[in-house]
Amino acid sequence: MITVGDIVELLQTNQRNRQLRKQEGKHIWKVIKVDRPQCMAGELGFLIEAQKDPEHTRWVPESDITVLEYKENTR
Protein backbone atom coordinates (compact mmCIF):
# COMPACT_ATOMS: atom_id res chain seq x y z
CA MET A 1 0.00 0.00 0.00
CA ILE A 2 1.35 3.39 -1.00
CA THR A 3 1.24 6.01 1.77
CA VAL A 4 2.19 9.65 2.32
CA GLY A 5 5.96 10.00 2.57
CA ASP A 6 6.83 7.06 0.30
CA ILE A 7 9.43 7.66 -2.42
CA VAL A 8 8.14 6.51 -5.81
CA GLU A 9 9.33 6.28 -9.39
CA LEU A 10 7.17 7.73 -12.15
CA LEU A 11 6.60 5.03 -14.76
CA GLN A 12 6.52 5.60 -18.52
CA THR A 13 2.81 4.82 -18.85
CA ASN A 14 1.88 7.82 -21.04
CA GLN A 15 3.43 10.59 -23.14
CA ARG A 16 3.51 13.17 -20.33
CA ASN A 17 5.26 10.77 -17.95
CA ARG A 18 7.83 9.90 -20.62
CA GLN A 19 8.42 13.61 -21.25
CA LEU A 20 8.91 14.36 -17.54
CA ARG A 21 11.40 11.52 -17.24
CA LYS A 22 13.38 12.17 -20.42
CA GLN A 23 13.41 15.96 -20.87
CA GLU A 24 13.16 17.10 -17.26
CA GLY A 25 14.85 14.17 -15.51
CA LYS A 26 12.01 13.81 -13.02
CA HIS A 27 12.10 10.10 -12.23
CA ILE A 28 11.90 10.16 -8.43
CA TRP A 29 8.91 11.65 -6.60
CA LYS A 30 7.55 11.78 -3.04
CA VAL A 31 3.90 11.05 -2.19
CA ILE A 32 2.45 14.06 -0.37
CA LYS A 33 -1.27 13.22 -0.39
CA VAL A 34 -3.58 10.26 -1.04
CA ASP A 35 -7.18 11.12 -1.92
CA ARG A 36 -10.00 10.75 -4.42
CA PRO A 37 -9.81 14.14 -6.19
CA GLN A 38 -12.25 15.34 -8.81
CA CYS A 39 -9.49 15.34 -11.45
CA MET A 40 -9.20 11.57 -11.00
CA ALA A 41 -12.96 11.06 -11.52
CA GLY A 42 -13.37 9.87 -7.94
CA GLU A 43 -10.74 7.15 -8.29
CA LEU A 44 -7.91 6.82 -5.78
CA GLY A 45 -5.08 9.16 -6.70
CA PHE A 46 -1.70 10.18 -5.36
CA LEU A 47 -0.40 13.74 -5.26
CA ILE A 48 3.31 13.46 -5.90
CA GLU A 49 6.11 16.02 -5.66
CA ALA A 50 9.24 15.89 -7.80
CA GLN A 51 12.40 15.37 -5.74
CA LYS A 52 14.34 17.36 -8.34
CA ASP A 53 11.88 20.31 -8.25
CA PRO A 54 9.64 20.46 -5.14
CA GLU A 55 7.52 23.14 -6.84
CA HIS A 56 6.28 20.52 -9.32
CA THR A 57 3.37 18.38 -8.12
CA ARG A 58 0.83 16.28 -9.98
CA TRP A 59 -1.96 13.78 -9.39
CA VAL A 60 -1.39 10.27 -10.72
CA PRO A 61 -3.17 6.91 -10.47
CA GLU A 62 -1.44 4.00 -8.74
CA SER A 63 -0.65 2.44 -12.13
CA ASP A 64 1.68 5.39 -12.94
CA ILE A 65 4.03 4.87 -9.98
CA THR A 66 6.02 2.18 -8.22
CA VAL A 67 7.38 2.36 -4.67
CA LEU A 68 11.15 2.69 -4.37
CA GLU A 69 11.34 3.33 -0.64
CA TYR A 70 8.64 3.12 2.00
CA LYS A 71 8.27 6.02 4.44
CA GLU A 72 9.35 3.79 7.32
CA ASN A 73 12.74 3.32 5.63
CA THR A 74 13.43 6.97 4.73
CA ARG A 75 14.39 8.15 8.22
CA distance linking residue 18 with residue 24, whole number of Å: 10
Is the pTM value of this prediction over 0.85? yes
**Alpha carbons within 13 A on the beta-carbon side of 27:** 3
Domain ranges of the chain: 7-73
From residue 47, give the alpha-carbon distance in Å to each of 9, 33, 70. Answer: 13, 5, 16
CA distance linking residue 49 with residue 33, whole number of Å: 9
From residue 42, give the alpha-carbon distance in Å to each of 6, 31, 61, 64. Answer: 22, 18, 11, 16
* pLDDT tens digits for range 10-65: 999 999 999 999 999 999 999 999 999 999 999 999 999 999 999 999 999 999 99
